[in-house]
Structure 1
Amino acid sequence: MKTFEMIKNFEKFGNIIISDIFVFFVVAFWYTTWNIQDKYLFPNHHGLSNGISLAIGIIGISIIAISQFTIKKKLRNTNCVIFFLISRCIAFFWAVCGVCHWRGLWNFLDRYTVALSPKVLLVIGLVVLCFLRSVRNILAPPFVLGFDGCREQFFNQSMIFGQIVRNKIPFELDVFLCTSILGSLVVVFWRDAWQTMDNHLFPDDKKRTFIWSIIIFFSVQISAEILQFCFRRTSSHIEKFPYIMKLIIHDAYFIFLGVGNVSCWRFLWTIIEKITAMIGPGIGLGSVCFTSFVFLVSVFSSTSIVSKGFILDGSVEQWYRLPSEYIGSFRACLQDKEKKPGKKDFEPSLETITHL
């Protein structure tokens, strides 16, 4: 038994290391795609550039989500090579749309909320996400290594708003609301958590703020493993807590993980900025972007650069029973099959790749 536990712990540690390696390439893709748009998408007209990015992001992701069943059906019996090529093209478009959404909204917030403290927006975003039972979405954008399935690369999006209003919202409208509202609230959390760190984590010393971002990330990752161990050991006692107390612990835990995610991206963003500057601003962005995507595709993990839909927080009776590697390493690959009435070919799988 002890040998088995030791092997399991080594395997878990190895998975964490692999995930942390892959996240570098994911952040590299996001950084370069973001800055390519800054450089070439109407660089002298910031409002137009950000507006186009935001529109491409929301509309593009919505189109992919709505057409996912048709895409799966068309590719179900195709040749493996054709499936590989088409699916990777879709993954690339999907990832670019994700970056566009984040860039457009992030820059608009920078431009039009200067007088507003980032802490205010941070609290507002978190309150709304908690109210919608969707705080776990702050673990996006993609963070974690997610291997492409043979025919399951395309995500199924849960009807979050449909569930809130008793399934009276059509799937297509729900997809658009999830993308435009939930996705935007996640950006608000990330932008204002990032901005708060910029303002308070040694703003005049880039080296120290870089080091402290690393410290915060690894502290959160280690603490998450310890907390999961404690939660699982005391699950029988946790079940006896009042519902509101379990709900508060649940939301606080995922907010804690979200802060670790932001810290990770913050220090990796700085590293990739230095690398592209060393290569040269002209060729550096394109070459790093292409190399990152090719690397992820070559190891069948192109879905690591996309956020696989949105997830409705599960029951507070069960969340702490999840395998610790799913949460402690910021892996959130939850699958929950449930039929929705009125949708013949609708088999939602609540799946988030954070991952990133």
Structure 2
Amino acid sequence: MVPAARSVGRPFRLRGCLSVCSGVLEERLVLMDVYVYPQDPVISALISTCIGIGGHLFFALSQNWFQRLLHPSSNRLVFYVGSRLYTECFAIVCVNGWRGPWQLLDIHSRKQCFTVLATTMVGVVALISVRGLRNVTAPPFIIVRDNVKGYFEVITMFRLSLQKSIGLYLLDCLFSVVVVGILVVFIWRGSWILVDIFLYPEDLTKSAWGSLVIGYVAVVTAFLLQPCAKYLCDKASGTSRLLISDIVNLYALFGTVNVWRGIWNLLEIYFIPDDIVLSCWITHIVSFSLLILMSCSNSLLVRGVYIDAEEPAGKCMEFPCYYFRVMFQERQLRKLRKIHMNKGTYSTYEEKPNIDKSITISVIHNIIVENSTTTS
């Protein structure tokens, strides 16, 4: 059944933008093609959709329970192992949540330019109308480190609390997962297939390399233009500010999809193409291990809903990629904390840390301070 499953699953897979992320996501998606009812693509897609929706609801409803159960203050080893198992399980849920709707769209709609463009525009217009277009972004524009604070947090669209109203919170979760999540899949699938249609459709190798080059050029350009976008958003307000934010998010999506697609197809072409299952398991074990060692395995998870231009001024145009920056700041904070503890002035340091705020945003800074205190 493996060759048949591979031929069915090929159009439905997603590749990660970074080689380690792409390896983990590819493995799960391909193995879903192989093991989840491969003889019937429709039933297989429905099963994946149910796993995706049900799993997202479970992790959203149980986030407070996970935060209480797994914390380094009680047992550091249990937290480390349990949190990484959490990431593994949640990543499987995310993969199924994307694979199911993607595959159902492939089965029930034609891969013609007009049809694909129509479904894509439906997703774009709908997300813009609810101020949720920024949820289409992914690595390399977003890197999530495995910090203690917020490790199990799942942000919903309307920011409702489970303690206030279980019914309203459940509706909030359903809207965030079913509506926003599926609209994001609409946009990603459409963007991906449009590149398939127009970029060397008869030559997969040229198409993959071309997509990779175009993607990284777009990514570098987006980061170079980030100060200009921040300046414009800082000066603009209202609809014009949202428009700038949406344009930047769409351009970031263009770069991200091409990078993901390029790495994904290159792995299919060059990495053990004759044994897809072996390729997947090797890719999964190596890639997921590297992500854990780099302390950014949470970058795999597609969770939470974020609002367009939610941050004040130009901060809404900052791409949250602070891997080395945060790492260096954590080292600086540890040194400062040690110095102030030796001087007996730690409480003053904790309230007003001596740190160059020009190299970070306040949210990241607060997380570092709290994590430094928690893990001490």
TM-score, normalised to structure 2's length?
0.74
Does residue 286 of structure 1 match 2:281?
yes
Which of 9, 22, 25 is the matching residue for 1:27? 22
| C-alpha separation in 1, matches of 2:152 and 2:140 | 14
Q: Per-residue deviation at 1:234?
A: 5.3
Q: Per-residue deviation at 1:30?
A: 0.7
The residue aligned with 1:106 is 102
CA change 1:243–1:110 in 2 (3 A) is same
Structure 2 unaligned runs (5+)? 1-15, 326-359, 365-376
Aligned letter for 1:84?
Answer: Y
How many residues are aligned here? 308
Report if the CA contact (8 A) 1:53-1:104 is conserved: yes
Aligned letter for 2:122?
Answer: I
Q: Per-residue deviation at 1:260?
A: 0.8
The residue aligned with 1:255 is 250
Comparing both chains, which one has the higher relative contact order based on Cα–Cα distances under 8 Å and sequence gaps of 6 or more? 1
Report if the CA contact (8 A) 1:147-1:302 is conserved: yes
The residue aligned with 1:346 is none
Q: Per-residue deviation at 1:135?
A: 0.4
Aligned letter for 1:200?
Answer: F
The residue aligned with 2:58 is 63
The residue aligned with 1:202 is 200
The residue aligned with 1:190 is 188
Report Cα offsets for 1:277-308 as digits up to 9, x if no partner: 34722322122112211221223222121124
Q: Per-residue deviation at 1:327?
A: 7.2
Which of 174, 177, 181 is the matching residue for 1:176? 174
| C-alpha separation in 2, matches of 1:334 and 1:209 | 38
Aligned letter for 2:251?
Answer: F
Does residue 267 of structure 1 match 2:256?
no
Report if the CA contact (8 A) 1:156-1:309 is conserved: yes
| C-alpha separation in 2, matches of 1:136 and 1:268 | 23
Aligned letter for 1:138?
Answer: V
Sequence identity of aligned pairs in percent?
24
**SS of the residue aligned with 1:326?**
coil
Which of 239, 242, 245 is the matching residue for 2:240? 245
Aligned letter for 1:102?
Answer: W
Report Cα offsets for 1:222-257 as digits up to 9, x if no partner: 221232222345566x33xx6333322221111110
Q: What are the within-5 Å matches in structure 2 for residues 67-82 of structure 1?
A: 67-76=62-71, 77-82=73-78
Aligned letter for 1:226?
Answer: L
| C-alpha separation in 2, matches of 1:261 and 1:224 | 11
What is the RMSD computed on CA atoms of the aligned residues?
Answer: 3.1
Report if the CA contact (8 A) 1:33-1:96 is conserved: yes
Q: Per-residue deviation at 1:326?
A: 3.1
**SS of the residue aligned with 2:272?**
helix
Report if the CA contact (8 A) 2:242-2:309 is conserved: no
Report if the CA contact (8 A) 1:121-1:192 is conserved: yes
Q: What are the within-5 Å matches in structure 2 for residues 80-229 of structure 1?
A: 80-114=76-110, 117-140=115-138, 144-160=142-158, 170-229=168-227
Q: Does 56-65 or 305-314 show the bigger shift? A: 305-314
Aligned letter for 1:148?
Answer: D
Report Cα offsets for 1:149-205 as digits up to 9, x if no partner: 135321231343869xxx997122211220111111111100000011111112112
Quick check: which has more Rg, 1 or 2? 2
**SS of the residue aligned with 2:251?**
helix
CA change 1:250–1:301 in 2 (3 A) is closer
Report if the CA contact (8 A) 1:22-1:144 is conserved: no
TM-score, normalised to structure 1's length?
0.77
